[in-house]
Amino acid sequence: MSKLHFTTKHAKASTVKHEWFVVDATNQTVGRLCSRIAAVLKGKHKPYYTPHVDTGDYVIVINAEKVVFTGDKLKDKLYKHFTGYPGGLKEETAASLLKRRPVAIIERAVKGMLPKNRLGRKMFKKLFVYEGTAHPHGAQKPKELKF
């Protein structure tokens, strides 16, 4: 009696085809939107997802200033960064960061959901976030991605 032997097909960097998607962030919750974007950047939506290969696609996010926070996060959530100087811890509420730099909210959330290594940094470079509806990636013919 012969044994059946199945092998898993692994994607190779040379065979992966990267697509372009555009996402409208209007009235989307930040965490839910960014977790779905991170999954597309990783390539988890593809049948040949391989953890050690960049199988993800390019994502363009428009209307970043129209994202929403649930509950009291808009006034309670703090974004922190350290300047490198003594006493240099800077804090900013989500409301003021959304008003000042709405692109940073989506970028920071997605970056935190990607792997913390060379591959994660490569995946993050495929994310493009814009405040308005205009973006310079029309030549790539991005498809609309609905969540």
| 3-state secondary structure (DSSP) of residue 64 | helix
Rounded CA gap, 115 and 100, in Å?
27
Q: According to the model, what pLDDT value does residue 139 have?
A: 97
Q: What is the pLDDT of residue 126?
A: 98
pTM (predicted TM-score): 0.91
Burial code (b: 16+ CB inside 10 Å, e: under 16) for 49-86 equals ebeebbbbbbbbbbbbbebebeeebeeebebeeeeeee
Q: And the tokens for 80? A: 């922190």
CATH of domain 20-69+102-144: 3.90.1180.10
The radius of gyration computed from the CA coordinates of the chain, to the nearest angstrom, equals 18
CA distances to 41, 53, 115, 116, 142 from 120, rounded to whole Å, are 9, 10, 5, 6, 22
Instruction: Map out the domains of the chain as residue ranges.
Output: 20-69+102-144
Residue 3's pLDDT is what?
A: 73
From first to last of its 147 residues, the chain has per-residue pLDDT tens of 667 777 878 899 999 999 999 999 999 999 999 999 999 999 999 999 999 999 999 999 999 999 999 999 999 999 999 999 999 999 999 999 999 999 999 999 999 999 999 999 999 999 999 999 999 999 999 999 987
33 exposure class (CB count in 10 Å sphere: 0-12, 13-18, 19+):
buried
Is residue 139 within 8 A of residue 145, CB to CB? The reply is no
